Amino acid sequence: MKKAKAAKTPRKKKAVAPAKHKDGFHLGARLKHARLLHQMRLKDVAARAGCSESMLSKIENELASPSLTTLHRLCKALTLSISDLLSNGKVDPWVIMRPDQRKTIGHRNAAGSEGVSAEVLIPSAEGRLLEGFLVVIEPGGNTNGVLQHKGEEVGYVVEGQLELTINSEVRLLNAGDSFYFPSNLPHAYRNPGKTGLRVVWINTPPTF
């Protein structure tokens, strides 16, 4: 007579650890802290940023990563900049950053990411008057709508094609072209080409 096999105890699913940035802080926790400081509800911030309440909850709990555009709109809803969000409080008089030392915000290949990410070229710190990014855009990647905020912007197309819309006027830029515009003008951008696009993008003051 065969012995009955003992029932297998179901394995517990491992909890997903919050995703940390390489400098050690939690992006979602900082967004949540800013929201609570403003005494705002999840649904209020989500409505202002144009995302769902459930998505914002996942971002705050490190279960989802915001796209670059969504992060910008969340910061605008909370009256802070991405630079404020990334700041570690340390102010060096001058800085050299190696490629592996730069933070990357946004995820080009994630669902709903609009195909855009950006490497932070200037470490965020209180009192800085500039913020700079190496913006990387996949073919077809875009801002998913119009951006508008205070300040000024200048950029240089390193490679690829950039379709830049400023105040409803569309311009096509190629590698080697540069641009400038006041950030209070409605603006949007996308990669209309078939290859990746890289743009050095500088804002002043840090309001992106």
Query: Do 40 and 32 touch, CB atoms closer than 8 A?
Result: no
Inter-helix orientation angle 42-49/68-77, to 10°: 120
Chain centre distance of CA 68: 3
CATH number (3.40.50.720, 1.10.760.10, 1.10.260.40, 1.10.10.60) of 27-85 reads 1.10.260.40
Mean pLDDT of the chain: 82
Give the 3-state secondary structure of residue 85. Answer: helix
pTM of this prediction? 0.69
Task: Note the pLDDT tens digit of each residue in 10-42.
Answer: 444 343 334 444 444 577 888 898 899 889 999
Q: What is the layout of strands, in order, in the sheet containing 178-182?
A: 104-105, 116-120, 131-137, 197-204, 152-159, 178-182
Query: What is the per-residue burial (b if ≥16 Cβ within 10 Å, else e) of 105-144?
Result: bbbbeeeebbbbbbbbbbbbbeeeeebbbbbbbbeebbbb
Domain ranges in the chain are: 27-85, 90-204
Name the more confident of 179 and 100.
Answer: 179
End-to-end CA distance of the chain: 74
Question: Class of the 90-204 domain?
Answer: mainly beta
Complete edge-to-edge strand list for the sheet that includes strand 169-173: 169-173, 162-166, 187-190
pLDDT at 22: 44
98 compared with 93, residue with greater pLDDT: 98
Which of 4-18, 80-94, 169-183 has maximum average pLDDT?
169-183
Q: What is the phi-psi region of residue 48: left when phi exceeds 0, alpha when psi lies from -120 to 50, beta otherwise?
A: alpha
Contact at 8 Å (CB) between 190 and 163? yes
